Structure 1
Amino acid sequence: MSTTKSVWVRLLTCCFIAMLVLSIGAGAVDQTELSARQSDLDYLYTTLKSNHPDLFANAPEAAFEARKGQIEQRLGTETSFDFALDCSSLTALAKDSHTSVSLGSSGYHLHICLFDMDLYDGTWVLSAIDDAHESLLGSEVTAINGFSMEQVLEKFGTFLSADNPVKLRYSYWQMCYVLEPYQYLGIAEQGEPMSVTVKNSTGKTQTLSVSAVDQSTFQSKDLSMLKDRQTGVAATAYDKTKTYFAKELNRSTYYIQYNQCTEDQSLPMKTFCQQVQSALNAGNYSLILIDLRNNGGGSDGTIFPFLELLAQQSYKGVQVAGLIGRKTFSSAIINAVELQEMGFPLVGEDTSGSVDHFGSVQSFQLPSSGLRVGISSKFISMSNYFDAASGKGVESLQPDVKIVQTLSDSLAGRDTCVEKILENPAILKSAECTEAPMTRGRFVGLLFQEAGTSILNIESQPFNDLLGIEWYLPALNWAKAEQIVRGDTTGNFSSARAVSWQEAAVFLVRTADALDIQPASVRNDAVPDTLKTTAWNQDAVQKAWRWGLLPESGDFSTAPNRAQGETMIKRLYAAK
């Protein structure tokens, strides 16, 4: 068995995990070091306050001050490693996945616990252990040193920057075999072995004693690895050597793996799109899959030429779907939402990146320790830009169709998600999200769909604030031509903004006029006061109320949700 275990490399190549270093024995530091640490801590806090767009959005200033005070109490006695994690814990109070502390590993050593885990559908699975316990590989890990996995995650969350649970689990997974964080958190004791409790498939539990070794001596240790049992490699396996690539999966399915939101200098995106277009023209594909499951971000605009290509394929009747997972993060989240905005469903698992999030990272360095800190420079509210993000916030992007990778498929070299899609492409449907706010763009899109108009104008961009790839673009062209929508004085339409009841009434009445629909009057009572606003829409509100398009007992103090919007549209066309 090879003595070099590639699974450990993920820690050594992770910028944050490089911070997880061997604690030098605790003891009093000299006055010079004490002053340097105080200076670094002050600089960190001052810079966070002055540069973060909303540092106290998730924790009050008092919590930061209290944490800083706790750190100051032990500046003179803690190790350099503990000080680094203390700085990280102060930063983590922001609950911002993009604002975090990192450090190069120069001058430090790591202690590695001789075990590893992976995560399958929310369950921690033993993926590496000493040869004596090889039979336990694949068992569920339920506790570490008597702490349940939920308790372990809660403790790690005190110094890991994460704005959602998926990000926290992923960040913990990246360091789960490093000893020092467990000691820092009081989970493990100095000089004592770790205990790992596992539960096998029959429900039997067993506690293993796991030792830790210095990084420099680790290569003399053999471990049994779950991945060594893998019997095959999926056609869609992650290729970390490529920024993006494309291939045929079968005669009807074309696959694109998009691993970084950045331009490949050896294969510019424009050239890549031309290659893909040629392959699509030469084939007869009915399905295109674009895989963002291993994309951790970069520049969200890099993909745009490819999105335009996908839009053209969609208008030709080709089905398109995006794949997402726990490694999908940052700009890749924006790209995934853009796919939804185009009407394409997302398939896979919840992401570590949040829909709304702090981002656009800048960096600075603490003057004495050299610790580098990434800090967000703005808050990105996706719901301000995309109908697909309506009703979502600082939360993981959830797939329209959830399909989790199973352990058995991983060992067999199968891609659970892709195989289920290929077995039954009919599952590729966008989630309804009936309680999400109905946006202006979606409302007009549904009006267009119900009208049954066959002419699709996708060449014109009717308003200035559109990307030109929205699924409702033909609807806006139709609606503008029919004078159902007009936009504002600047030529914008604000398609992602929630439609008001009054705006919905105007769109409905204008649609009735344009299509010569003449609904019968079904009400004589007065319009509720909450629907009475400005003069421009009063005639439309009166008509929509009299025709019974607006709900008789609706809560008009809040915008209609998707279900309510769809009901109004169906009532209009029922009178056609």
Structure 2
Amino acid sequence: MQRALTLCLLLNSTLLPGQVDITQKLYSPDELKTDLRFLVSTLENIHPNLYAATSKEKFYQDVEALELGLTEPITRLEFARKLIPLTTALGDGHTSVYFPQEERSEFLKQGGKVFPFDVLIRNNRLYITTNYSSDSTLTGVVEVISINGLRTPELLNQLRPYVSAELDFYRDIRIQRSFRSLLWYVLGYADSYDLELVINDLPVRKYVEGITSAQFQAAALHRLVNQNAKPYSLTITPERFAIIDFRSMTDKKRFARFLDSAFQVIRNETIQHLAIDIRNNGGGNSQLGDLLFNYITDKPYRQVDRMEVKASKEMKHYFRQRYVKWYMYPLMPVAVFNKQARLYAFGKPGKIQVVEMKKLIKPKNESLKFKGQTYLLVSHYTFSSANMLADAFKCYNMGTVIGEETGGVLIAFGDVIPIQLPNTGLAAGCSYKKFIHPCSDDTLRGVKPDVEIVSEPADKVSGRDPVMEYLKEVIKN
């Protein structure tokens, strides 16, 4: 048995004759050009308004320039470096080509060392917020002036084309959350790092060794033990107010059970002030927002005023593959009786169906409905379905919004169809819906808080939370 298991592992980890390591394979110019044309065609098929943020003429100029530059065989990682900026320039935070994960995994598996810090980007400046390195002198407020000779403003300008976003500040949020991997994917930085720093107002130069994936995971796990990593949790503070830390809009059934339990505790404890914290929520299933509203408001509302859905062969294939099981095929004709299902199953490619959400949703009369003061905590990271929640909360006056402007916008594209390029296998995603949210206007903006509070780099380093401090003071008074 043990021998058989060992043999299987060897076969799975060893390339057979004729096989080529996908992370090292070189793709011909013709293969790359085929992938490029496939990508452009597929994006145009799927997206309801691909050229909302950039002109078709400019996009095609960039496509032509990229195609003309494909003259030599290159790896798919090198191809991704050329291709991703083409899609992020479209200005849709849900539409992009992604860096290939296998190359990164192979680098880490071979003992490659990564940047040993978490960072904060603020006003085009870069700060270290968490130190995983062996250098214990990097304490207090540490600003990064340059990495490997590349000064911070130029470094950030080189990373920004690889991240999709509608708003500039949300682009930087995404960069800081993926900074470690982007340094490797975009710039090839690895193993050791030459840093120019300012530590507590004093200029310092440091040569810092990177850390392996195993070292980083061990350090990150240690931090998670001391932090809340659950998708949602309830805390009752010594000041007698409740905090629902809502980090991820996933698992509708589990969230329903959590809400029932949490609001039972809130009722039993006679809590009068409730903070719902979605500062670390990047979205998910918007139906979880509806479940939450059942417990905090009696006001009718809707999260979307209008939705525009584009039919395409890719959308219909994705819909059938994901939602229609083989035993449901005989029932497919029934879809003609439902307008939206008819579009998904039989819609003519290129047709855009406008769905007007005329009815307001009336929250269920939950026996555990909270009657006290409700506060919603938001940040630049609040995005997608979490942004929808924040917009409805503010638009229908369910309470007070505190924090930073959200990273999502009020007229947004979303609901992503996955794409895979035929030759390189690079993955991408493309929006096939447009959402117009309540209280939106022609301004490209997120949900603006009623009370704006911005954390400083020193707050991040020390663990101080000025939003919570403000909230405690408000409740106290």
The alignment status of 1:367 with 2:422, answered yes or no, reads yes
**CA distance 1:273–1:221, change in 2 (3 Å):** closer
SS in 2 for 1:378: strand
2:115 touches 2:180 (CA, 8 Å); kept in 1? yes
Q: Give the aligned partner of residue 353 of structure 1.
A: 408
Distance 1:392 1:404 in 2: 25
The alignment status of 1:254 with 2:242, answered yes or no, reads yes
The alignment status of 1:152 with 2:155, answered yes or no, reads yes
Distance 2:192 2:260 in 1: 57
**CA distance 1:83–1:120, change in 2 (3 Å):** closer
Q: CA deviation at 1:146?
A: 4.6
Q: Give the aligned partner of residue 286 of structure 2.
A: 300
Q: CA deviation at 1:379?
A: 2.1
Amino acid in structure 2 at the alignment position of 1:71: L
Q: Give the aligned partner of residue 40 of structure 1.
A: 35
Q: CA deviation at 1:192?
A: 10
Amino acid in structure 1 at the alignment position of 2:40: Y
Gaps of 5+ in 1: 1-21, 428-576
Q: Give the aligned partner of residue 124 of structure 1.
A: 126
Which string of whole-angstrom CA distances, capped at 9 and with x for unpartnered residues, describes residues 419-472 of structure 1?
321122389xxxxxxxxxxxxxxxxxxxxxxxxxxxxxxxxxxxxxxxxxxxxx
1:261 touches 1:332 (CA, 8 Å); kept in 2? yes
Higher strand share: 2
The one of 179, 183, 186 equivalent to 2:187 is: 183
Which string of whole-angstrom CA distances, capped at 9 and with x for unpartnered residues, describes residues 217-255 of structure 1?
x657999x8999x9x96xxx5x33x33232322463122
Distance 1:250 1:91 in 2: 48
Q: Give the aligned partner of residue 276 of structure 2.
A: 290
Q: Give the aligned partner of residue 145 of structure 2.
A: 142
2:375 touches 2:400 (CA, 8 Å); kept in 1? yes
1:128 touches 1:137 (CA, 8 Å); kept in 2? no
Which string of whole-angstrom CA distances, capped at 9 and with x for unpartnered residues, describes residues 71-100 of structure 1?
221352433211012221111111111001
SS in 1 for 2:102: coil
SS in 2 for 1:158: helix
Q: Give the aligned partner of residue 273 of structure 1.
A: 259
Q: Which has the larger radius of gyration?
A: 1
Distance 1:169 1:316 in 2: 36
2:263 touches 2:370 (CA, 8 Å); kept in 1? no
Identity of aligned residues (%): 21
Distance 1:182 1:263 in 2: 34
| TM superposition score normalised by structure 1 | 0.58
Structure with the larger RCO, 1 or 2 (CA within 8 Å, 6+ apart)? 2
Q: CA deviation at 1:319?
A: 0.8
Q: CA deviation at 1:131?
A: 3.3
Distance 1:368 1:106 in 2: 15
Distance 1:222 1:255 in 2: 28
1:355 touches 1:397 (CA, 8 Å); kept in 2? yes
Gaps of 5+ in 2: 1-21, 299-365
1:166 touches 1:350 (CA, 8 Å); kept in 2? no
The alignment status of 1:201 with 2:192, answered yes or no, reads no
Distance 2:75 2:451 in 1: 47
Amino acid in structure 1 at the alignment position of 2:179: C
Which string of whole-angstrom CA distances, capped at 9 and with x for unpartnered residues, describes residues 518-573 of structure 1?
xxxxxxxxxxxxxxxxxxxxxxxxxxxxxxxxxxxxxxxxxxxxxxxxxxxxxxxx
The alignment status of 1:244 with 2:232, answered yes or no, reads yes
Q: Give the aligned partner of residue 379 of structure 2.
A: 325
Q: Give the aligned partner of residue 336 of structure 1.
A: 390
2:127 touches 2:143 (CA, 8 Å); kept in 1? yes
Q: CA deviation at 1:330?
A: 0.6
The alignment status of 1:62 with 2:57, answered yes or no, reads yes
Amino acid in structure 1 at the alignment position of 2:417: Q
Cα RMSD between the aligned structures?
A: 3.7
Q: Give the aligned partner of residue 18 of structure 2.
A: none
Q: Give the aligned partner of residue 98 of structure 1.
A: 94
Distance 2:74 2:210 in 1: 22
Q: CA deviation at 1:351?
A: 2.9
Amino acid in structure 1 at the alignment position of 2:474: N
Distance 1:175 1:261 in 2: 20
Distance 1:301 1:222 in 2: 33
The one of 76, 79, 89 equivalent to 1:80 is: 76
**CA distance 1:361–1:153, change in 2 (3 Å):** same
Distance 2:412 2:80 in 1: 25
| TM superposition score normalised by structure 2 | 0.68
SS in 2 for 1:131: coil
Q: CA deviation at 1:125?
A: 1.6
Distance 2:297 2:473 in 1: 24
User: 1:546-557 counterparts in 2 under 5 A?
Assistant: none
Amino acid in structure 1 at the alignment position of 2:199: N
SS in 2 for 1:379: strand
Q: CA deviation at 1:409?
A: 5.0
User: 1:400-479 counterparts in 2 under 5 A?
Assistant: 400-406=450-456, 410=460, 413-425=463-475
2:121 touches 2:172 (CA, 8 Å); kept in 1? no
User: 1:535-550 counterparts in 2 under 5 A?
Assistant: none
SS in 2 for 1:87: helix
Q: CA deviation at 1:376?
A: 0.8
Amino acid in structure 2 at the alignment position of 1:152: L
**CA distance 1:113–1:106, change in 2 (3 Å):** closer
SS in 1 for 2:82: helix
**CA distance 1:398–1:208, change in 2 (3 Å):** farther
Amino acid in structure 2 at the alignment position of 1:349: E
